[in-house]
Amino acid sequence: MNNNNVQNILKEDLCIGCGICSAICPRNAIEMVIDKKSGLFVPQINKSKCIGCKKCLLSCSSFFSEAEKMACSGKKDDFIGDFLNLYKGFSLDTRIRLDSSSGGIVTSVLIFALENKMVDGAIVTKMDEKNPLMTKTFIAENKEDIIKASQSKYCPVNFDETLKKVMNSNKRYAFVGLPCHIRGIKKAELVNNKLKGKIVLHIGLFCDHMVNFIGTETLLEKFKLKKCHIEKLEYRFWNGKKSGMKIDLKNKQSFFIPSEKYWGCLFELYFFTPKKCIVCDDFTSEYADISCGDAWIKNSIKEKKYI
């Protein structure tokens, strides 16, 4: 492996910390750690273990390779990219719709795929119960676990350990991730035999940009909330009237911060955004089998069932 290429990706802040490189490394030469300066997961490379196979580099969403030709050849739109068809819809299960983002489509599709034996499990993300400001990827194998992974998470995600479990399994899985995650997974499937054929359904989420962990910490400081007092954090909670962040404290108190109090005035300003997001050209997750996002169109904006 050309370590200079890898180091350039890290030096230029183009790593988004997905952990795919660490998962597929045949020598376990890469470890994902949290970088306090960037507020992201970053790979630490043990050069003494590296055998120069380049699999980590070829699976990186920030590195161009032949895998970049994977997009479908359907209809073409200058803004949304390649696609086959567009649909607007929402989950008919009221619980799922109200407790999810984007109408609960992803949650419902995963449950349908699982209950109809299309997949044995789904690789999804939730907030860690033991560390409520940290994301945790896991394999959901039943309806309730899938529901636990609903809602948006405006912070970094690391798939490292979960993908290792997938590669050591003979089951079929669905995978849910951002455009960069989907791109990395699709590329990794081309260079790692253990991953080929394991993920049979790729569901991509629309994404404008990621927010690092420092962004959330800054928001908490703004509202004078200490990390050690937090029991549970939901980035996108529907309180019956509007969407916002819900924070449950260990003393049983709860705080609700409307989205306009933190998104447009803080998260959307790119102060806490990885550089890779700024140069990303894949808003709609073109490499996914199915892409899902809010229906920010006329007659849908005020309806919770679509957003």
Structure tokens of 140?
A: 């959901």
State the pLDDT at residue 304: 60
State the pLDDT at residue 211: 96
Structure tokens of 268?
A: 């959307």
Q: Which residue, 196, 261, 200, 253, is CA-closest to 235?
A: 261
Strand spans (E) along the chain:
30-35, 40-45, 75-77, 81-83, 121-127, 135-140, 173-177, 199-205, 230-238, 243-249, 254-258, 290-292
How far is C-alpha 188 from the chain's CA centre?
A: 16
Structure tokens of 117?
A: 């034996």
State the pLDDT at residue 1: 45
pLDDT by residue, tens only, the chain of 307 residues: 455 666 666 656 789 999 999 999 999 999 999 999 999 999 999 999 999 999 999 999 988 765 555 555 567 787 777 888 999 999 999 989 888 888 899 999 999 999 999 999 999 999 999 999 999 999 999 999 999 999 999 999 999 999 999 999 999 999 999 999 999 999 999 999 999 999 999 999 999 999 999 999 999 999 999 999 999 999 999 888 888 999 999 999 999 999 999 998 899 999 999 999 998 989 999 999 999 998 887 776 666 666 6
Q: Which residue, 161, 181, 156, 195, is CA-closest to 61?
A: 181
What is the CA angle 67-69-73, rounded to 5?
140
Backbone φ and ψ for 114, nearest 5 degrees, come out as: -70, -45
State the pLDDT at residue 232: 97
